[in-house]
Structure 1
Amino acid sequence: MAITAKMVQELRERTGAGMMDCKKALTETNGDMEAAIDLMRKSGALKAEKKSGRIAAEGRVVIKLSADQKKAALVEVNSETDFVAKDSNFVDFAESVADAVLASGTTDAAALANVKLASGQTVEEARAGLVAKIGENIQVRRAQVVDAGAGSIATYIHSNNKIGVALVYTGSDAEMGKDLAMHVAANNPAGLDESSVPADRVARERDVQLDIVMQSGKSREIAEKMLEGKMRKFLAELTLLGQAFVKDPAVTVAQLLKNKGAAVTSFVRFEAGEGIEKKQENFAEEVAAQAKQAGG
């Protein structure tokens, strides 16, 4: 079949390869785009790096448990769009990376790139191949292994696959553990207790609240007393043990644990894309700019 300029351009966008390499691959595969990509991967003409500059703020979180349920691996893999995050190839890749993290214990992103997957490819080889196939920047952003030690692990993955929690607890109530993992997913506590909240965050909040109280015309002495109450409330709402339990707001998580004779020793919460600045598209401005360019 005839190889059009549009076909060559599409393949260039998806692979980052040169025009002649793209045209050659399309010619040899009779215009089959996927076959051309595979051919270029085999010949080394494909370059996944072109996609690496794009913002990958969507994605999914995967959690894998060891057979004895004493270890859990959490992995966040990012894509540019939510559509790709639901693609079966992307899902399979994320799952395989989580398996590799659990098996190897490797969590450093740079080191993880060289870890082999069950397929025999390294994480980086599989990632680069997926970038070329799907046409989006894909990144393994972070990974963590949680060890239960003498305790137990409860996990929770939200229905959108974007939030995952692994929580280590003591006690025999597995249902409670699952509920608390769900609570962490919903309420996103900053830490386990007051001691786990960064000192600079506490100091910043104290300054803000003191200024607010002082503006009300109270004396410094009264303001300081009011401030203590405000800070206790602030820290309670910020920490897991101080928060009202999501399934029974009449009790705090600390009270729930005391009633159950249990304890939480740690938790890890991953949310896909958190902390990544997403590109904000203004489509009205984009259309106007294109119209202006076309007109002049």
Structure 2
Amino acid sequence: MTITAATVRELRDRTGAGMMDCKKALEENKGDLEAAIDWLRKKGLAAAAKKAARAAAEGLVGALTLGKRGALLEVNAETDFVSRNHKFQEYVTKVTEIVEKSSDDIEALKKAAYPQTGRTVAEELTELVSVIGENLNLRRAKVLEVTDGVVANYIHSAIATNLGRIGVLVALESTGDKDQLMALGRKIAMHIAAAHPQSNTVTDLDPALLERERRILTEQAKESGKPAEFLDKMIEGRIRKYYEEVVLHEQLFLIDDTKRKVSKVVEDAAKEIGAPITLKAFACFRIGEGIEVEEKDFAAEVAEQLKK
């Protein structure tokens, strides 16, 4: 029987196994689809499909910077234990390196070649699922780059080199001394990890977030009982306070006690370095951020497992 691409694809869809493993299973079983499924199950390579529906909100963030370019990557797992697995750490590290050299397009990343395996990044993740026994998900990636300057990174709660639960990139455009810029960028990255800004500048802030806040503040102002002529000033004052909470340039710098805004810290650093500095962009990944995890009663979960 001729093994076609369609047959390989069908086997992959039914088992969740990697493309190369599906091809090998069909070759070992003379193209017999059902026999190939059994072969994959015996090898433990068909388990990935069953695990794909389980929520994965733990895992690792990888960060890598090489001078003017840096990358962040988030790969999720079901439990925090997996983050200490050497094979999982190796996977996140290698894929972060691929992101830094290519792009942060997740779909393109999945199709990229994984080093020394003959498999793609996505197929290697499927292989890892069968080894680790948990649902794993290649969730998101980000690349920052400057024309002249540095991209600094910081990993919070690091459990290995460039791996942890929170990863931050900071892009600084400047012709100034690169070591000084890198030191500044790292401090700003540490601030970001702690302060959780939503945007770099006021103009970058998501209009939907601003509109939502303005609606809330307007209702609060109306309920204050103040005269109508004072309401607009009250709302605008609170909007400025909101900017100080969520906009990086407007936040008070947390790394020292000088009570300076981040924008002022950058301005003062430019004077020390002797060259203008532009805080061009930042990126921050917090593991599992925004993923909804269903909370189950432990006894009910055990009972559910016993039924299987």
The TM-score range, normalised by the shorter chain, is: 0.7 to 0.9
Match of 2:149 in 1: 151
2:255 corresponds to 1:258: no
Q: Match for 1:88: what amino acid?
A: H
2:161 corresponds to 1:164: no
- Partner-residue secondary structure (3-state), 2:199: coil
**Equivalent residues in 2 for 1:201-240 (5 A)?**
201-240=209-248
Note if contact 1:62-1:94 (Cα within 8 Å) is conserved in structure 2.
yes
Q: What is the CA deviation profile of residues 40-82 of structure 1, one whole-angstrom value per residue up to 9, with x for unaligned ones? A: 489796352221111111011101223xx22112111000000
Q: Do the aligned partners of residues 218 and 49 (structure 1) sit closer, same or farther apart at CA in structure 2, a change above 3 Å counting? A: same
* Alpha-carbon separation, structure 2, partners of 1:280 and 1:167: 35
**Equivalent residues in 2 for 1:4-153 (5 A)?**
40=40, 46-66=46-66, 69-103=67-101, 105-120=102-117, 121-153=119-151
Note if contact 1:100-1:118 (Cα within 8 Å) is conserved in structure 2.
no
- Partner-residue secondary structure (3-state), 1:251: coil
2:223 corresponds to 1:246: no
Note if contact 1:79-1:138 (Cα within 8 Å) is conserved in structure 2.
yes
Match of 1:187 in 2: 195
Q: What is the CA deviation profile of residues 218-248 of structure 1, one whole-angstrom value per residue up to 9, with x for unaligned ones? A: 1121111111111101012111111010112
Note if contact 1:59-1:272 (Cα within 8 Å) is conserved in structure 2.
yes
Q: Match for 1:221: what amino acid?
A: E
Q: Match for 1:128: what amino acid?
A: T
Note if contact 1:57-1:81 (Cα within 8 Å) is conserved in structure 2.
yes
Q: What is the CA deviation profile of residues 180-210 of structure 1, one whole-angstrom value per residue up to 9, with x for unaligned ones? A: 0111111111111110111121111111112
Structure 1: 5+ residue runs without aligned partners?
A: 1-14, 18-38
What RMSD in Å do the two structures reach over aligned CA positions? Answer: 2.4
Q: Match for 1:190: what amino acid?
A: Q
Question: TM-score normalised to the size of structure 1?
Answer: 0.78
Q: What is the CA deviation profile of residues 84-129 of structure 1, one whole-angstrom value per residue up to 9, with x for unaligned ones? A: 12211111111111122222x1322222122112223211221111
* Alpha-carbon separation, structure 2, partners of 1:41 and 1:99: 32
Question: TM-score normalised to the size of structure 2?
Answer: 0.75
* Alpha-carbon separation, structure 1, partners of 2:237 and 2:105: 41
- Partner-residue secondary structure (3-state), 2:265: helix
Q: Match for 2:211: what amino acid?
A: A
Q: Match for 2:224: what amino acid?
A: S
Q: Match for 1:180: what amino acid?
A: I
Note if contact 2:64-2:153 (Cα within 8 Å) is conserved in structure 1.
no
Note if contact 1:157-1:164 (Cα within 8 Å) is conserved in structure 2.
yes
Question: How many residues are aligned here?
Answer: 252
Note if contact 1:41-1:129 (Cα within 8 Å) is conserved in structure 2.
no
Q: Match for 1:102: what amino acid?
A: E
2:287 corresponds to 1:272: yes
* Alpha-carbon separation, structure 1, partners of 2:153 and 2:41: 38
* Alpha-carbon separation, structure 2, partners of 1:259 and 1:191: 21
Note if contact 2:70-2:152 (Cα within 8 Å) is conserved in structure 1.
no
Identity, in percent, stands at: 37
- Partner-residue secondary structure (3-state), 2:89: helix
2:175 corresponds to 1:177: no
